Amino acid sequence: MSDIASPAPMRRLQLDPVTIFGLAVLAVLVATAVLAPWISPYGPTDINPAARLQPPSGEHWLGTDRIGRDVLTRALHGGRISLTVGFLVGIAVLCVGVVLGLLAGSVRWLDGLIMRVIDGIMAMPAVLVGVAMVVMWGGGLWALLIAIGIPSLPDTVRLTRSLALSIRTEPYVEAARMGGTRLPMLLWRHFIPNALAPLIVIGTYVGANAIVAESLLSFLGVGMPPEMPSWGNMIAEGRLAFQIAPWGVFVPALFLTATVLAVNLVGDGLRDSTDPLRLKSD
């Protein structure tokens, strides 16, 4: 149904400078992460014992770590992992959460069931659940995605449910019901398009949190394998030589902050520009 995906008001997206800045930062981060192997003359796992803990120089722009790996190269490669995790978790949580939330908000007997499970998830501390799951499944990207994704489900489910509850009483939904539209089509044509704007925003928020969560789990040693250049791993390792070579911590931390900030700025910008109050005024 291509006709649904074309809500006219969205076409006239007007982005403010801050959002454009966020998009630009994000674009640079994505581009450098994708092009990392071609940008940098070093490999992310190339060890050079002769050049250990070197400060930033013409040869190593942002210095080297304890075993002589180029910090910038590793940080760029780390972006691949972080951005992948953020993107995949954002999409996955959005898909699962929206389906659960819509069902909870529109089918009465499912509501209690779904929401109690969600309450259960909320009651568990996210980091501990993550650690437990990764330990149970023995690490790797997929285990990490699930470990990060499940604790961030509740926000999306609850938001979608509350949107569904208010959309359900809209006269246009009642008119469609009277016209014989059944639940799946009702959700697809009427609920989702009208809930889209806040959902995109929460998707960016989930993505940003996932990036932080991945770094946190890696830092704790249960994320990506230690030799992989993830930002969390780099911070964990750089910590050991922090007094001598602070760039080992600062560089990945800076990349992490920039990414999360950019994603959040873009999310806020999208929220503002799809605000129905703004749309109505023209």
Partner 1 sequence: MNQTKEPAVLDIAGLQIDLPIGADRPHAVANLDLRIRRGEMVCLVGESGSGKSLTAMATMGLLPRVLQRGVRGTISLAGRDLLKVTPQQRRQIVGREVSMIFQEPMTALHPVVNVGAQIEEVLKIHRPKLGAGERREQVLAALQAVQLPSPEQISRAYPHELSGGQRQRVMIAMALILDPMLLIADEPTTALDVTTQAEILRLIKDLQVRRGTGVLFITHDIGVVRDIADHVVVMQHGQVVEQGSAEAVLGNPRQDYTRALINAIPELGSVRPEPKDLGPVLVRMTDLRKSFTRRKGLFRQERFDAVGGVDLTLRRGEVLSVVGESGSGKSTLARCLAGLTVPSGGQIVVGSDVSQAAGSRRQRQRVQMVFQDPNRSLNPRRKVGESIIEGPMNFGASRKEATARAAELMELVGLRPDSLDRFPYQFSGGQRQRICIARALALQPEVLIADEAVSALDATVQQQVVRLLDDIRRRLDLSILFITHDLRVAAQISDTIVVMQRGRIAESGSVAAVLGSPQSDYTKRLLAAVPGQKHSFTEIEAND
Q: How far is the CB of 183 from partner 1 (least distance, A)?
A: 12
Q: How far is the CB of 96 from partner 1 (least distance, A)?
A: 23
Nearer Cβ to partner 1, position 10 or 110? 10
Nearer Cβ to partner 1, position 116 or 280? 280
Q: How far is the CB of 6 from partner 1 (least distance, A)?
A: 8
61 near partner 1, rule: CB under 8 A: no
22-41 residues near partner 1, rule: CB under 8 A:
none
204-223 residues near partner 1, rule: CB under 8 A:
none
Among 16, 59, 119, 174, which residue interacts with partner 1 (rule: CB under 8 A)?
174
Q: How far is CA 42 from CA 28, 30, 37, 74, in A?
A: 20, 19, 8, 9
Largest alpha-carbon pair distance within the chain?
77
Nearer Cβ to partner 1, position 87 or 188? 188
Number of residues that bind partner 1 (CB under 8 A): 27
Distance between CA atoms of 17 and 14, rounded to whole angstroms?
Answer: 10
Structure tokens at 16: 């403010």
Q: How far is the CB of 270 from partner 1 (least distance, A)?
A: 16
Distance between CA atoms of 97 and 89, rounded to whole angstroms?
Answer: 11
* Cα distance from N-terminal residue to C-terminal residue, the chain: 28
Q: How far is the CB of 103 from partner 1 (least distance, A)?
A: 20
Neighbour-count burial for 185-200, b at 16+ CB within 10 Å, e otherwise: ebbebbbbebbbbbbb
Structure tokens at 53: 């803990």
Q: How far is the CB of 182 from partner 1 (least distance, A)?
A: 8
113 near partner 1, rule: CB under 8 A: no
The total of other beta-carbon atoms located within 10 Å of residue 116's CB is 9
Nearer Cβ to partner 1, position 5 or 39? 5
2-21 residues near partner 1, rule: CB under 8 A:
3-4, 7-9
Our CA angle for 222, 247, 38, nearest 5°, is 80
Among 52, 66, 168, 189, which residue interacts with partner 1 (rule: CB under 8 A)?
189
Among 47, 51, 176, 220, which residue interacts with partner 1 (rule: CB under 8 A)?
176
Distance between CA atoms of 24 and 18, rounded to whole angstroms?
Answer: 10
Alpha carbon of residue 44 to chain centroid? 24
193 near partner 1, rule: CB under 8 A: yes
271 near partner 1, rule: CB under 8 A: no
Tell me the H-state helices in 170-240. 171-178, 183-186, 192-219, 231-238
Residues that bind partner 1 (CB under 8 A): 3-4, 7-9, 170-172, 174-182, 185, 189-190, 193-194, 196, 276, 279-280, 282
